[in-house]
Amino acid sequence: MRHYLILSIFLISLCGCYKGFLEKKSDDTLVIPNDAQSIQALLDNTTIMNECLPVLGEISSDHYFVSDAEWSSYPVPWPKNAYRWSSDIYESVRTPPCYDWAHSYRVVFYANIALQQAGKQSGANWDGIRGSALFYRAFSFYQLLQIFAPAFDETTAQNDTGIPLRLEPSIDEPTTRESVERGYRQITEDIKAAIDLLPDSAATLYRPSKPAAWALLARTYLAMGKYEMAREAAEECFQYKNELLDYNSLNATLSYPVPALNKEVLFHATLFVEPFIASYQSILPSYYERYAETDLRKQVFFRMASGRIRFKGSYNGGSQFFGGLTISETLLIHAECLARKGDVHGALNDLDSLRKYRIRSADYQPIVLDSGKEVLEYVLEERSKELVCRGLRWVDLRRLNKEPAMQRTLNREILGTTYTLLPLDKRYVLPIPEDVIELSGIIQNPR
């Protein structure tokens, strides 16, 4: 009996030793991201976090065209259909897929992993991580709302169907669509929380910072039509950073005259490269002609290549379209807000401080306008000239459609057929990719 006892004790005592034994990772090239260093490394993955902004809005915008020949031979249906505002853009063709939805939710997923791990951890490292994660998540939700949900309307936002708001990195949690109001509330709350946690300036412009967060808040309030709050946010941003890039100092003959990460940039991000616009886009001559000859942007932003106008003014310093946040954009938000509340002087002041760096120095003349309406129109005109090919045109079309005076009807002619998109058309909300609908069971947007 004694033998049994000794052996039993021995065997049982072994059990205790196994726990640590099994905690070893099975492949050392894999990291289990749970410390501040590895979580920061996740957020520093610029390919995923900064370079995959959605393109459907840009494809649907009105500043460019694709020639009939190139449109016909383009092999992927969804960009062609989005270009002509079709009801069904995907045509059940799954490959290559439209990644807009998946790319944006991947940023949300990474941010949620970071937030989950940050949990109740404290310390400056973790504060920065939490702030960054909230910023990235808010930025992604903002992008998704501009494409897959109706434009914000105070009166209907409670009932308008928005986007799923995933706040946990679980793959088992069901997907449900929340209201538009709930979506914007999540964004503004996340940004406000992030502002308290983010540093005044980050080690790289690929990482968010306090002024970037204020600029994102200003952009969000502008999309919501909350001009007063947008103005305040813009002013908060200027507390940290307010320098502009003088286009007089740029060499317009370069392939890409605007350097990346220049002093105007608050947060660097680019649109996903979709060849339909990246390679085949030509700027409409009518759009190009809106720039005065003295406007440096005419040479800095565009070049003529075999008879067509190509965009070369990306703040990426390369061919990828910039979609991040800049001082100039925030300044234009500020100007619009002032113009809308009738502060003509303030708005003109903002415009002048920008224009003096955009117009050839020798030819620069301050603007003289009296009426608030004229100033607002001027601000919006300046906005479309300054922020071309940034994914913002679509956002502006959607929000300005809410104001009858600002409404625009879009037309396109492809192979002799004219396609029209009327203001407030339900096709201003793009359809969700079909595999998402199939696998999640959420409802599709009506087109």
Partner 1 sequence: MRYLLLCFLILSLQSAFSQIITGKVTHKGAPLEGATIYELSKRSSTRSNTKGEFTIVVNTGDSLRVSHIGYVTVLVAAHHDIIIELERQENEMQEVQISSGYQYIPRERATGSFTILSEKDLSRQIGSTVSERLEGLVPGLYFDRRTSNTEITLRGISTVRGNKTPLIVLDNFPFEGPLDAINPSDIESITVLKDAAAASIWGARAANGVIVITTKKGKYNAPVKVSLSSNITLRGKPDLFYSQEMPVSDYVSWERWLFENGRYTAQENSSNRPALPPVVELLIAERDGLVTKEYADQEIASIAASSDVRNAYLEHYYRSSVVQRNALQITGGSATVRYGISGGYDHNRTNIIGNWSDRKTLNFNAQIKPLSKMEISSGFNLSDALNTTHTSPLFSAYPYEQWRNSNGTAAVVARGYRSPFLAEAETNGLLDWTYRPLEEVGMHDNRLRERTFAVNLGLKWQLHPTLSLEARYQSQEQLSVGKEQYASESYYVRNLVNSYTQVDPVTSALTRPLPLGSIIDNSEDRRQSRSGRLQINYSKRWADIHHLELLAGTELRDIVLSGSDSRIYGFNPVGLTTVPVDLVTRYKMYYSRNATNMLVIPNGINVRSGNDRYVSYFTNGSYTLAEKYTVTASARQDATNFFGTRSNQQWQPLWSAGLKWQLGKETFYRFATFPDLSLRLTYGYNGSTGGGAALTTAYYGTDPRTRFQRATISNPPNPSLTWEKVRVINVGIDFSSKNRRLFGSVEWYSRAGQNLIGPSPLDPTTGFFTGTFSVIRNYASTMSRGLDIELHSRNTDGNAKWTSTLLLSLNKSKIVEYFGAISTNTYLDASNTIPGYTPGYLFAYKFEGLDENTGDPIGRLEDKPTQDYSAIRGRTSPEELVRIGTPIAPWFGSLSNRVSWKRWNLDVMLSFRFGHYFKRESFGYGIGSNHIDYLKRWQKPGDEKITTVPSLTTNFNTLNNRTLFYLNSEPLFEQAGNVRMQLIDLSYQLRDLRLSANAANLGIVWQKAVKGIDPDIRSTATPIRPSFSVQCSYTF
Shortest spacing between CB 102 and partner 1, in angstroms: 4
Candidates 126, 184, 206, 301: give the one binding partner 1 (CB under 8 A): 206
Q: Is 440 in the site for partner 1 (CB under 8 A)?
A: yes
Tell me whether residue 134 or residue 331 sits nearer to partner 1 (CB atom).
134
Cis peptide before 96 (omega within 30 of 0): yes
- What are the CA-CA distances from residue 269 to residues 3, 139, 275, 326 (Å)? 71, 10, 18, 10
Candidates 5, 16, 19, 286: give the one binding partner 1 (CB under 8 A): 19
- What are the CA-CA distances from residue 108 to residues 143, 187, 217, 363 (Å)? 11, 12, 18, 47
Candidates 5, 14, 405, 415: give the one binding partner 1 (CB under 8 A): 14
Q: Report d(CA 117, CA 33) in Å as an integer.
A: 8
Tell me whether residue 130 or residue 226 sits nearer to partner 1 (CB atom).
130
Q: Residues 240, 214: contact at Cβ < 8 Å?
A: yes
Tell me whether residue 94 or residue 341 sits nearer to partner 1 (CB atom).
94
Shortest spacing between CB 150 and partner 1, in angstroms: 19
Tell me whether residue 172 or residue 370 sits nearer to partner 1 (CB atom).
172
Q: Is 25 in the site for partner 1 (CB under 8 A)?
A: yes
Chain residues 41-70 in contact with partner 1, contact rule CB under 8 A: 41-42, 44-48, 50
Q: Is 9 in the site for partner 1 (CB under 8 A)?
A: no
Q: Is 10 in the site for partner 1 (CB under 8 A)?
A: yes
Candidates 36, 56, 66, 108: give the one binding partner 1 (CB under 8 A): 108
Q: Report d(CA 179, CA 200) in Å as an integer.
A: 33
Farthest-apart Cα atoms in the chain, separation: 106
Task: Give the ranges where 120-159 is alpha helix by DSSP (H).
Answer: 124-148
Q: Is 331 in the site for partner 1 (CB under 8 A)?
A: no
Q: What is the total count of residues that contact partner 1 (CB under 8 A)?
A: 58
Chain residues 144-173 in contact with partner 1, contact rule CB under 8 A: 164, 166, 169-173
- Chain position carrying tokens 């021995």: 10
Shortest spacing between CB 176 and partner 1, in angstroms: 10
Q: Residues 344, 370: contact at Cβ < 8 Å?
A: yes
Q: Which stretch binds partner 1 (CB under 8 A): 38-46, 121-129, 322-330, 410-418?
A: 38-46
Q: Is 29 in the site for partner 1 (CB under 8 A)?
A: yes
Q: Is 105 in the site for partner 1 (CB under 8 A)?
A: yes
386: tokens are 């300054």
Contacts of 221 (CB under 8 A, 6+ apart): 188, 227, 229, 230, 233
- Number of Cα atoms under 13 Å in the Cβ half of residue 352: 12
Report the candidate in 332, 255, 316 with the shortest Cα–Cα distance to residue 53.
316
**For 12-23, b where at least 16 C-beta lie within 10 A, e where not — what string?**
eeeeeeeeeeee
Q: Which stretch binds partner 1 (CB under 8 A): 210-218, 277-285, 342-350, 431-439?
A: 431-439
Beta bridge partners of 283: 64
Shortest spacing between CB 237 and partner 1, in angstroms: 23
Q: CA 431: distance to chain centroid?
A: 18
Q: Residues 313, 89: contact at Cβ < 8 Å?
A: no
Tell me whether residue 22 or residue 304 sits nearer to partner 1 (CB atom).
22
H/E run at residue 287:
helix 285-288
3-class secondary-structure state, position 21:
helix
Q: Is 368 in the site for partner 1 (CB under 8 A)?
A: no
What single letter denotes the amino acid at residue 266? Answer: L
Shortest spacing between CB 355 and partner 1, in angstroms: 32
Q: Is 109 in the site for partner 1 (CB under 8 A)?
A: yes
Q: Is 76 in the site for partner 1 (CB under 8 A)?
A: no
Q: Is 436 in the site for partner 1 (CB under 8 A)?
A: yes
Q: Is 422 in the site for partner 1 (CB under 8 A)?
A: no
In this structure, the strands spanning 302-305 and 308-311 are antiparallel
Tell me whether residue 22 or residue 368 sits nearer to partner 1 (CB atom).
22
Binding site for partner 1 (CB under 8 A): 3-4, 7, 10-11, 14, 18-19, 21-33, 37-38, 41-42, 44-48, 50, 101-102, 105-110, 112-113, 164, 166, 169-173, 175, 203-204, 206, 433, 435-436, 439-440, 442
